[in-house]
Structure 1
Amino acid sequence: MKDEPEEAELLLHGALRLAHESGNKEAITYTYDLMANLAFIRGQLENAEKLFKATMSYLLGGGMQQEDNAIIEISLKLATIYAAQNRQELALAGYEFCISTLEGKVEREKELSEDTLSVEEKANTHLLLGMCLDTYARYLLFSKQPAEAQKVYEKALQIAEEILGERHPQTIVLLSDLATALDAQGRSDEACVHAQRAADLARQVEHPELHVLLSNLAAVLMHRERYTQAEEIYQEALTRAKLKRDEVSVQHIREELAQLSRQRSALL
């Protein structure tokens, strides 16, 4: 949290040594998981892959089933690693395993009474399915498959609205992402409706990523050649991004404004 990953890694190696010395399998598994997440955040994908696999091995060796949510979460992270490494077959297999396993699990859990499985536990499984769908949709969009991404985003959005409500920050992001998938297909009118709705809701709840959502709306408006409105929203997004000190977004918005200016000039 203090942005000292090297120190964190040294502490985790110490923790792992102590866990092995005491023969505490739960501590070993927990520490491997923390180390894997740290490597993943730092972009050390090969190391993260090994550590996630070690974590999964310990969990399965301890009797955990493949459809357990903890196994699914690790499988999703592995699929994301494979996608980043362009190991497409493994990435697809990972996403399909996570989604199909959870879809079956959600259906089976519907039949269970609250005495057997709590409402909260059922909701957690359903939300994990939504997370998997969201991640897979982003992969499809990045892979230039916007029509397929749209279908998956719609499923993820339906789950988020049902479990979290339409004003939840994650639901709002999914709504904006769905707009991006529609816009990538040239369906800018539909995209604009969703992007505007996402921006309106984001303002109401003071969404922490409002500048990103406004930038997405401005991009859709630019594609509809509504340049004046797009520029106004880009400028607001830029101001908010600077306040957030989000340098990546600041750079992106400036590039979009330059592109907008070029497109405007071409019409004169």
Structure 2
Amino acid sequence: MIVKNFGKLAQVLCRTRFMRTMVVSPHDYTIRAHIGYKSLAQESRTLGSVYMDQQQERQRHQEQSEQNSKYPHTGLVFAAMFSFNLFGDGEKEEETPETKLVNTIKRSILCIQKEQYDKAEQMLHLALRMAQDMRSTNGITYVYDVMANLAMEREQFKKAETLFVDVMRRLMADGHTEDSPKILHISSKIAHMSQLQGDLVKSFQGFQWTLQRLAKLVKEMPENSDVLELYGLTKNWFGQLLMKQGKYEEAKNLFTEALNILVDVYGYLNDASVTILNNISVAYVNLEKYAEAKETLLRALNIAKELKDTAQEGIIQANLGLVYLREGLLAEAEDFCKLAWKIGKSNSNADALEQAEYCLNEIKSYMKG
């Protein structure tokens, strides 16, 4: 029972939060979604295409450069060329159909960041109609992709898969092949969603297909951080599938490979390291290697503390309590679980509280039994 809920935490720490802090590029319609591998590091990217023609791009690049000189940091969140219209500063420019479309998508992303998902979806449907009215093939593809990631964020997996398949079809019609990083990224997400829905056969086949092609891409482009990042992300997700299949040693090895890849790309101090270290510890618990599990969790805990991520810190503390409980060390287990509860309570974090309460309940059950 402990292992079951302990493994569940791998999902809590690795939610598919693709839409929380997104960056919109007006030039290539690429959205980047960040979970904190480092500042502006991506767990997943939606897959837009070049939309504006070269003349528009040159003009907008000039406008962006001028505005960046006034607002040098706005590019960290959105392209600076939209700062004035979005926040009401500066002179209001006449919107073209293209800027109206981008601004509508931008506002939908702000709604997603605030977890106003219904409003975001309404705005994305409006953006889709705008792209269709403009007969913008790439714009339509882009909006579908954002919709797919939003559906995945909301755990509407069937809907997300349908949208992703349509995006893949549109990309391939535009000249992308099965070995395109954009296609492989979608394939990885579909395999992950299959695992989350319990279709382990489909998920296994999808991950094998994707990883074979990614391995080839990594050999061809060993310095490409985007390909490396996707390779590490996919290995981590595949490891979660192997955990469900009871292949704990294989899962641990995959998690370790994923960690090494992502650390090489982004460094050690990031949320991804915490997540994957937690996954490794879950594998160790299932292998009954408790000393290794504790050591791994302590590494994750140190990173979470350095990141000042109290949510993950509380969860890791509770997980440490569960490991100590497996060893029969009740006093140590209770100390960690109470600390986790205190952290969750003081920071109003539901995930940390849930795991801490689970841990404390397990201790009570153990003492009664």
Answer whether TM exceeds 0.5 for this pair.
yes
- Does residue 133 (structure 1) correspond to residue 235 (structure 2)? The answer is yes
Match of 2:155 in 1: 43
Deviation at 1:265, TM superposition (A): 4.3
Deviation at 1:262, TM superposition (A): 2.6
1:155 maps to what in 2?
Answer: 257
Task: Tell me the amino acid that sits aligned with residue 261 of structure 2.
Answer: I
The answer for the alignment partner of 1:171 in structure 2 is: 273
**1:222 and 2:334 aligned:** no
1:202 aligned onto 2:314: no
1:27 is matched with which residue: 139, 145, 152? 139
For 1:63, the aligned partner's letter is G
1:115 aligned residue: none
> Contact 2:203–2:241 (CA<8 Å) still a contact in 1?
no
Describe the SS at the equivalent of 1:86. Answer: coil
Correspondence for 2:185 among 69, 73, 78: 73
Q: Deviations over 1:15-62 (max 9, x none)?
A: 112212221111001100011112222222221111111111111111
Mapping of 1:112-131 within 5 angstroms?
119=223, 122-131=224-233
What secondary structure, in the 3-state scheme, does the structure 2 residue paired with 1:217 have?
helix
User: How many aligned residue pairs are there?
Assistant: 256
TM-score normalized with structure 1 length: 0.88
Which whole-Å deviations, capped at 9, do the CAs of 1:133-166 have from their partners, x for residues lacking one? 1111122223333222112111112212322223
Q: Determine helix, strand or coil for the equivalent of 1:43.
A: coil
Quick one: distance in 2 between partners of 1:16 and 1:205?
A: 38
Unpaired runs of 5+ in structure 1?
111-118
| Greater RCO (Cα-Cα under 8 Å, separation 6 or more) | 2
Instruction: Tell me: CA distance 1:242–1:142, structure 2 relative to 1, closer, same or farther (3 Å).
Output: farther
Following superposition, the deviation at residue 101 of structure 1 comes to 1.2
- Decide whether the 8 Å contact of 2:161 with 2:190 is kept in 1: yes
Relative to its length, the structure with more helix (as a share) is 1
2:205 equivalent to 1:93: yes
Identical columns (%): 24
**Conserved? CA contact 1:20–1:28, under 8 Å:** yes
* Separation of aligned partners in 2, 1:53 and 1:42: 18
Moved over 3 A (4+): none
TM-score, normalised to structure 2, is 0.65
- Consecutive unaligned residues of structure 2, counting only runs of 5 or more, are 1-112
* 1:79-132 alpha-carbon deviations (Å, 9 max, x no partner): 12222333222211111122121111111213xxxxxxxx5xx12211111100
Closer, same or farther: CA 2–167 of 1 in aligned 2, 3 Å? closer
RMSD of aligned residue pairs (Cα, Å): 1.8
Q: Is residue 143 from structure 1 mapped to residue 255 from structure 2 by the alignment?
A: no
Residue 244 to residue 53, structure 1, CA distance change in 2 (3 Å)? farther
